[in-house]
Amino acid sequence: MTDVPVSEAKARLTALVRQAEDGKDVFLTRNGRRVARITAARPRRVLTPEERMQVIRKAQAAAEGKFEPGFDAARSADFLYGDDGLPG
């Protein structure tokens, strides 16, 4: 359970939302009193390693044949800039 002043929550909102997604209680306080609670709309589901691999394989299958032979993701940034070194 976490109590956070509203004034501090503004700067930590992303982290507080993650805590709520992880199932932790997050209460916002004003003058030391709880005035609001951040809760997850639905709990975040943690994938098993096998499920993660299944997602990766599905993405790889969807990308199959969409790139020219010899495409190298490590060199993809080369296409963002022109010969003058400026964004193209």
| Contact between residue 24 and residue 2 where contact means Cβ atoms under 8 Å apart | yes
pLDDT higher than threshold 90 for residue 46: no
Chain mean pLDDT for the chain: 87
* More confident: 85 or 26: 26
* pLDDT tens profile 11-40: 999 999 999 988 899 999 999 999 999 998
**Per-residue pLDDT at 48:** 94
* More confident: 2 or 77: 2
Residue extents of the structural domains in the chain: 1-65
Top-level class of domain 1-65: alpha beta
pTM value > 0.85: no
Count of alpha carbons within 13 Å of 32, Cβ hemisphere only?
A: 0
